[in-house]
Amino acid sequence: MGYPQISDTRISLSREDFHVDPNNDNIHFNETVFTTLANSNPGVDYYNATSAGQVQKERQDIQNGVNAQLINNVKDFKIRTRESGLYIAVMGNVTAGVATKAPKNYVQILFREERLPIAEGWKKNDILITTDVLKPIEREIERFSEWQPSGVQPNPWIRLGPSGAIDPLTANSI
């Protein structure tokens, strides 16, 4: 983070994008940005894949409106989706699969305080969280995000290994 095109992804859930923040600060937690996630899924005390997808859509709509330099490509979308799948899976009971519910207070502590909510009762999952476990959750997030590319669309891919596909999406390796 802090170095665009290195490990920075666009349309964060808790940081402002580099070109939007008046101080070019995409490193520090931003409560205003986080309110999109914090206020999502009203009426219940959890986030799930559906609400995570809706938050991605809302954040994309916001950023499309304020960031003329936004490059929203498939690579960044897949990274954001994996990150969202992880906060749902890690904070919730992932054995429920796509129906996993992540308690709001756990997720909010994770983002706001950058710590695991152990003191509040969080426990790690009984199963290992693998890509096979995450894929159904990610598919649901993708469905509700209604993702559309925006900005210049350079080739977004890097090889995922020495013999990896040049375009992992087409090769079905992501």
pLDDT (tens digit per residue) in 97-110 = 999 999 999 999 99
Where in the sequence is the domain holding 66, given as residue range(s)?
31-145
Q: Which of 15-29, 38-52, 63-77, 145-159 has the lowest mean pLDDT?
A: 15-29
- Nearest Cα neighbor of 110 from 100, 98, 122, 125 is 122
Name 44's Cβ contacts closer than 8 Å, sequence gap at least 6: none
Q: Is residue 39 part of a domain?
A: yes
CA distances, 91 to each of 111, 124, 126, 129 (Å): 11, 8, 12, 11
Number of domains in the chain: 1
Q: Is residue 165 part of a domain?
A: no
Q: Is residue 131 part of a domain?
A: yes
Q: Which of 1-10, 18-27, 75-84, 114-123 has the lowest mean pLDDT?
A: 1-10
CA distances, 127 to each of 26, 56, 93, 94, 96 (Å): 33, 27, 9, 8, 11
**Residue 152 or 127, more confident:** 127
Q: Is residue 169 part of a domain?
A: no
CB atoms within 10 A of CB 47: 27
- CATH code assigned at 63: 1.10.489.10
Check pLDDT > 90 for residue 82: yes
Using DSSP's 3-state secondary structure scheme, residue 135 falls into helix
Q: Is residue 74 part of a domain?
A: yes
Q: Is residue 2 part of a domain?
A: no
pLDDT of residue 132: 94
Mean per-residue pLDDT for 71-95?
A: 89
Q: Is residue 113 part of a domain?
A: yes
CB atoms within 10 A of CB 36: 18
Report the C-alpha gap between 5 and 76 in whole angstroms. Answer: 10
